[in-house]
Structure 1
Amino acid sequence: MAEIKVDPVDDHTMVIPETEISAQKPHRTLRVASLDIFRGLTVALMILVDDAGGEWPMIGHAPWHGCNLADFVMPFFLFIVGMAIPLALKRIPSKGKAVKKVVFRTLKLLFWGLLLQGGFSHAPDKLTYGVDMQMIRFCGILQRIAFAYLVVALAEIFLKDAQSNDIAAGYCSVFRLYCWHWLLGACILILYLAMLYGIYVPDWQFAVHDKESAVYGRVFAVDCNVRGKLNPPCNAVGYIDREILGINHLYLKPAWRRAKACTDNSPYEGPFKNDAPSWCHAPFEPEGILSSISAVLSTIIGVHFGHVLVHLKGHSERLKQWIMMGFALLILGIVLHFTHVIYI
């Protein structure tokens, strides 16, 4: 139907076609309420474990082995990022425009990550700012999210080998439509395990740069000369970060400082034992290079759940797909855990 409208200038009546009316209405992007709610709950969880983790270590990050409540925050964020990728990119038909959008967003995340966690704000209460380039921390939470987002978003743009309407027509499943995504995830897992167990870790030494430490300035040596170890001092994750990033650019207060080998107050943080091993004083990057490569898997899982949300319209069909995938991943995680393949 057409709408009759009175012109306020000359009091003449105008007939506006319905198509023109719809064209004049501003476009509103529909949001997925459940995803927004989950994002808000994850932010609330992050604030809880950051503020209360010191008082209740059982909800803070595990010192090394184990999984506490705080250890779910980063996988949740990566899952959310992955689930949002299909929802965002489906509105961009051009691959070139999609790539530009992905690269620009990645650069923004890297910028804010370096600004917030790179060491720019030394003491906000004292208005002490500035970056010491010899000690700047290159990695962090936003940097890891940026890397995972870049890899998975580019995979979403270039690896889809079928048409979306094939699912609605019953020609293929969501898994088959995006099989190359899962192949990428399998390659990442194999690469991660190969490097984790295959890289030789030599002896290393470090100087304590934490000015709050009682042993500030001392030089410690760590004996390794091993391959395939998953303990704090001699794992391949830390070795790669020390070699590529430089030991001065790692996180100065890792969670392993609360390990039983380091303090009698474990799992609370406290003074180190007199006979604490030297690595207790060492820096370690929790969002380092090799561990960030493995973190891409959490984002790929989120992308699959997002594909189900986009392509399947019935709630029962969506729930069936999500339960099947969740159960399969649960079984895989249990197998990896009890075969002692992955600890970190």
Structure 2
Amino acid sequence: MSASQRIQSVDLLRGVTIVAMILVNNPGTWSSVYAPLLHAEWHGLTPTDLVFPFFLFIVGISIYYAYKNKKGNIQTYKKIGIRSLKLIALGLFLRAFMPTFPFIQSWESFRFMGVLQRIGIVFFITAVLYLNYNWKVLLGIALGILLSYWLLLGFVPLPNGMAPSFDKVANNWSMYIDSIVLGGHMWKPDYDPEGILGTVSAIATCLLGVLIGKVLDKPIERKASILVAIGLLFLVVGYVFSLWFPINKALWSSSFVLVTAGYATVILAIIYYIVDVKHWHFGRVFKKVGMNAITIYFLSGFIAKSFYLIPVGEHSNIHSWLYSTFFQYDFLEAKLASLCYALVVVLFYLALGNYLYKKGIFIKV
């Protein structure tokens, strides 16, 4: 998206989302974390569960603006493919090299899927669809994905004859397919939160972002109000749908797609009104992070894992030493101390985003 085309609120929301990702991924200790900063155990929704779908939703908006004047030719597909492969490669790098850096993780425990891998796959498929179909077809594809996913997980018996289930059990279609295709290469022995079917469902999240990008681009009055109305519609339909298909981030259930897209649209509408309509100076520091979102997210993961791996003394590493030395005090409650560590990490990356912005450094992935 060129500077002249940029919607300031999109960059700002992207930055807020990346900062939220860094916040929830970097507590002082995982044994002491406030509940809103953890994912739901299975069914349900916490503020942390909103972060990843928000980012994929914004990817969809960015796809709309980046390719609205592009043709679906070999050159364009090549650029899309290269960008997708870069994202996947960065995700695989974090997974393959970090557990025993600088040595490659053993093949037996190598995890194929992950956050950046899902972003890369979803970006590629959504961008190709956008270049080939109009908004009505894209909406139909998104709805088709959501309905098909519900029908498969809720009504189609498994090959062994077992009745399907939405629970965390072997006869859940999502977990069943992951166990067959991915085998031992999952996040946990029984499931992967970035699994195969969930990645297909995540395409619907991105497509809804594309459609909201189209609304943002229209020269219409009361655009913020229209966005709020669309967001509320997503929320109502999503929560009603959850009566039959529970909201579940690990499965990336259809109701989860609709509800998270609803929250994303409403929040974007509010930011759009404040920043792009009223032109109030709000949250510029987050916008600066949003201009280098993937770079900062990747660095946060790389540095955090390095801190766990580099030893300090015989029984400590950089992370535990920093946490115990500067944040663990008798007067500070354990969860608050853990949060303070995460906030300091966030401040570091806010400063980094500000520095890159001032220097005019924008690293495209």
Shorter-chain TM range is 0.5 to 0.7
State which of 227, 238, 255 in structure 2 corresponds to 1:322.
Answer: 227
Which protein is bigger by CA-based radius of gyration?
A: 1
Tell me the residue number matched to 1:305. 212
Change (3 A) 1:44 1:97: same
RMSD between aligned residues: 2.3
1:159 partner letter: Y
Equivalent residues of 2:5, 2:65 under 8 A apart: no
TM-score by length of 2: 0.62
State which of 181, 191, 194 in structure 1 corresponds to 2:138.
Answer: 181
State which of 200, 204, 211 in structure 2 corresponds to 1:293.
Answer: 200
Instruction: Answer yes or no: is 1:49 the counterpart of 2:6.
Output: no
Equivalent residues of 1:92, 1:98 under 8 A apart: yes
The alpha-carbon deviation at position 294 of structure 1 amounts to: 1.0
Change (3 A) 1:339 1:154: same
Change (3 A) 1:226 1:40: same
Superimposed CA distance per residue, residues 220-273 of structure 1 (whole angstroms, 9 cap, x where no aligned partner): xxxxx7322121123111111000111x10003xxxxxxxxxxxxxxxxxxxxx
The alpha-carbon deviation at position 82 of structure 1 amounts to: 0.3
Instruction: Answer yes or no: is 1:228 the counterpart of 2:168.
Output: no
Instruction: Answer yes or no: is 1:120 the counterpart of 2:25.
Output: no
Once residues 70 and 134 of structure 1 are traced to their aligned partners in structure 2, the CA distance between those partners, rounded to angstroms, is 30
Tell me the residue number matched to 2:293. none
| Structure with the bigger percentage of helix | 2
Equivalent residues of 1:49, 1:69 under 8 A apart: no
The alpha-carbon deviation at position 105 of structure 1 amounts to: 1.1
Q: Greater shift after overlay, 71-80 or 333-342? A: 333-342
Q: Which sections of structure 1, spanning at least 5 residues, go unmatched?
A: 1-26, 161-177, 204-224, 253-281
Instruction: Answer yes or no: is 1:68 the counterpart of 2:39.
Output: no
Superimposed CA distance per residue, residues 159-182 of structure 1 (whole angstroms, 9 cap, x where no aligned partner): 12xxxxxxxxxxxxxxxxx11011
Superimposed CA distance per residue, residues 99-150 of structure 1 (whole angstroms, 9 cap, x where no aligned partner): 2221111111111111113x32114xxx442132232111111111112112
TM-score by length of 1: 0.65
Once residues 236 and 304 of structure 1 are traced to their aligned partners in structure 2, the CA distance between those partners, rounded to angstroms, is 29
Superimposed CA distance per residue, residues 6-38 of structure 1 (whole angstroms, 9 cap, x where no aligned partner): xxxxxxxxxxxxxxxxxxxxx965432211111
% identity of equivalent residues: 31
Once residues 122 and 183 of structure 1 are traced to their aligned partners in structure 2, the CA distance between those partners, rounded to angstroms, is 42
State which of 105, 123, 132 in structure 2 corresponds to 1:149.
Answer: 123
Instruction: Answer yes or no: is 1:137 the counterpart of 2:111.
Output: yes
1:152 partner letter: T
Equivalent residues of 1:64, 1:232 under 8 A apart: yes
The alpha-carbon deviation at position 67 of structure 1 amounts to: 0.8
State which of 176, 180, 191 in structure 2 corresponds to 1:243.
Answer: 180
Q: Which sections of structure 2, spanning at least 5 residues, go unmatched?
A: 252-365
Change (3 A) 1:56 1:314: same
Equivalences, count:
244
